[in-house]
């Protein structure tokens, strides 16, 4: 197979694909050029930067393209149903990055609770503002609400339970027996919003109203902390900024943004925001696991 890698991939996995006899080409294409380029490949491997929509599929259908692989959990940057209607299979790597994303969500929780991002920035500016950052909070004893209780949410739950947090979760699907297994509780979304001290999003992108919007923020406790390592569009950034400025939301940890690279400087520069540039799966271990999963997908395909 000729395989196009648009957004980078673990080098050892690429070497394994080459050893299997496949030709691997690393090249990013702008959206206007991608569809035509795909006609020369049997498979394409993308991450979050590349989008494969109806336009690209129309331009590529009827060619050699047989397989699209999303090196990550979600596939919302691919028009999956349309691709499959046109004979192009779509796969992803749902297991490989769960631990890394969950650990980043936990890191943002600590950063928000203890002002780590803001305090570090002031120190790099030559300041020593000990009193300003002495009013932190402990995570132990607090309630964490997890919106979307899939693999990532479950791993975050285990970490949170390990430091003494109470965990509640909302999800359209309730996994039998997992409440007893992990010591958590499923609740309806409105109850989660009202009870949680920390809210962490681990749901796919939603159509229509964002999960974190002005209406839902009003249902939350005063001083809530919001974490988003899922999809940027799950948060209404204007509503979150207003809530941060009013103090309704104490802090936010954000790895994803509505537009990436983010142009919302008022949000990512806010002193109560711990921000990272979409690095949830950006660990050596996760990238190696993603690469292995991709090799298996192609071998089985």
| Displacement of CA 278 from its chain's centroid (Å) | 7
Query: Is there a catalytic annotation at residue 202?
Result: no
- The set of residues, in sequence order, having a beta carbon less than 8 Å from that of 82 and lying 6+ positions away, is 54, 57
Choosing from 70, 114, 231, 270, which is the catalytic residue? Answer: 231
**Backbone φ and ψ of 46, nearest 5°:** -125, 160
Based on the residue annotation, tell me whether 260 is a catalytic residue of this protein. yes
Which residue among 70, 108, 270, 278 is the active-site one?
278
Task: Say whether the peptide bond before residue 261 is cis (omega within 30 degrees of 0).
Answer: yes
Catalytic position from the list 33, 138, 260, 285: 260
Q: How far is CA 70 from the centre of its chain?
A: 13
Active site annotation includes 278: yes
Per-residue H/E/C for the chain: CEEEECCCCCHHHHHHHHHCCCEEEECCCCHHHHHHHHCCCCEEEECCCCCECHHHHHHHCCCCCCEEEECCCCCCCECHHHHHHCCCEEEECCCCCHHHHHHHHHHHHHHHHHCHHHHHHHHHCCCCCCHHHCCCCCCCCCEEEEECCCHHHHHHHHHHHHCCCEEEEECCCCCCCHHHHHCCEECCHHHHHHHCCEEEECCCCCCCCCCECHHHHHCCCCCEEEEECCCHHHECHHHHHHHHHHCCEEEEEECCCCCCCCCCHHHHCCCCEEECCCCCCCCHHHHHHHHHHHHHHHHHC
By annotation, the residues acting in catalysis are 231, 260, 278
């Amino acid at each position: 197979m000729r395989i196009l890698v648009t957004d980078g991939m673990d080098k050892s996995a690429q070497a394994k694909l080459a050893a299997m006899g496949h030709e691997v080409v690393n090249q990013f294409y702008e959206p206007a050029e991608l569809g035509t380029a795909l006609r020369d490949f049997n498979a394409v491997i993308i991450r979050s930067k590349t989008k494969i929509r109806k336009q690209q599929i129309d331009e590529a259908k009827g060619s050699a393209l047989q397989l699209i692989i999303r090196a990550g959990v979600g596939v919302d940057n691919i028009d999956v149903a349309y691709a499959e209607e046109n004979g192009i299979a779509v796969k992803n790597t749902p297991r490989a990055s769960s631990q890394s994303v969950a650990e980043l969500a936990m890191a943002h929780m600590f950063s928000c609770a203890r002002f780590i991002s803001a305090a570090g920035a002031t120190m790099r500016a030559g300041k020593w503002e000990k009193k300003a950052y002495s009013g932190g909070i402990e995570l132990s004893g607090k309630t964490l609400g997890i919106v979307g209780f899939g693999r990532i949410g479950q791993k975050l739950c285990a970490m949170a339970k390990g430091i003494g947090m109470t965990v509640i979760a909302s999800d359209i699907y309730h996994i039998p027996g997992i409440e007893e297994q992990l010591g958590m509780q499923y609740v309806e979304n409105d109850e989660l919003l009202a009870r949680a001290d920390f809210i962490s999003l681990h749901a796919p992108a939603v159509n229509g109203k964002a999960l974190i919007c002005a209406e839902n923020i009003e249902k939350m406790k005063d001083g809530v902390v919001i974490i988003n390592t899922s999809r940027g569009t799950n948060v209404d950034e204007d509503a979150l900024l207003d809530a941060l400025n009013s103090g309704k939301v104490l802090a936010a940890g954000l790895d994803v943004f509505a537009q990436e690279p983010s142009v919302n400087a008022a949000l990512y520069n806010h002193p109560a925001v711990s921000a990272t540039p979409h690095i949830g799966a950006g660990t050596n271990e996760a990238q190696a696991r993603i690469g292995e999963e991709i090799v298996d997908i192609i071998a089985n395909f």
